[in-house]
Amino acid sequence: MFVPAVAARLAAQVAPRPFRTIDQVDPNVFIGGFLAASDPGEVRRRGITRIVKMFSDDTKYPGGYHRHPGVTYAVFPALDTPEYDIRGDAVEALRFIKEGVDANERVLVHCHAGISRSSTVVLLYLMIYQGLSLDEALERLTRIRPVVAPNKGFMRHLRATDVSLRRLRQGS
């Protein structure tokens, strides 16, 4: 007999570390994967009150997606493919994150593994709101979460944003 809650707990025990952890990027922004975001104890312990979920397909995981009471969600059906244009989702996700940070709320950004989609959004957050270049943001985020690896298409968008931000900051 298949018991979803038991299957989810077993998956969490055998999953690689990045899938099971929430890493703190700054005082109010966190990054993680599906399993960590579904852990009510971890979300509560971190004081997270907003969650950005960068996928919509919950069928891959036994037990489905756990929503926490008292947490506000923003869900974006982003695909982790180089062809997917993440820019529209990222703009809305950044708005949601900034709103939370401005209200001194703690925001978790996650996708399935906390490697590509969520890292793209967090890198954009660091670039736009903390004034870092793409290289600086990547260095900082990979120090915190070594598995960070936006796919090739997302990296193209990040590089283009980096160039645009540099031009804006230089006044040209």
Mean pLDDT by 10 residues, the chain (172 residues): 40 53 96 90 94 78 65 93 96 98 98 94 98 98 96 98 96 72
pLDDT at 84: 96
Q: Dihedral through CA 112, CA 71, CA 87, CA 82, nearest 10?
A: 0
- What are the structural domain ranges in the chain? 4-170
Q: Give the residue carrying structure tokens 């290289």.
A: 135
Amino acid at 67: R
d(CA 87, CA 161): 10
56 and 64 in contact (C-beta within 8 Å)?
A: no
**List of residues 6+ apart from 45 with CB closer than 8 A:** none
Side-chain-side CA neighbours of residue 45 (13 Å): 11
Burial 80-101 (b: 16+ CB within 10 A, else e): beeebebeebbeebbebbeebb
What are the residue numbers of the active site?
Answer: 111
pLDDT at 69: 79
pTM: 0.86
34 and 62 in contact (C-beta within 8 Å)?
A: no
Q: Which residue from 3, 19, 28 is spatially nearest to 110, judged by alpha carbons? A: 19
CATH T-level fold of 4-170: Protein-Tyrosine Phosphatase; Chain A (3.90.190)
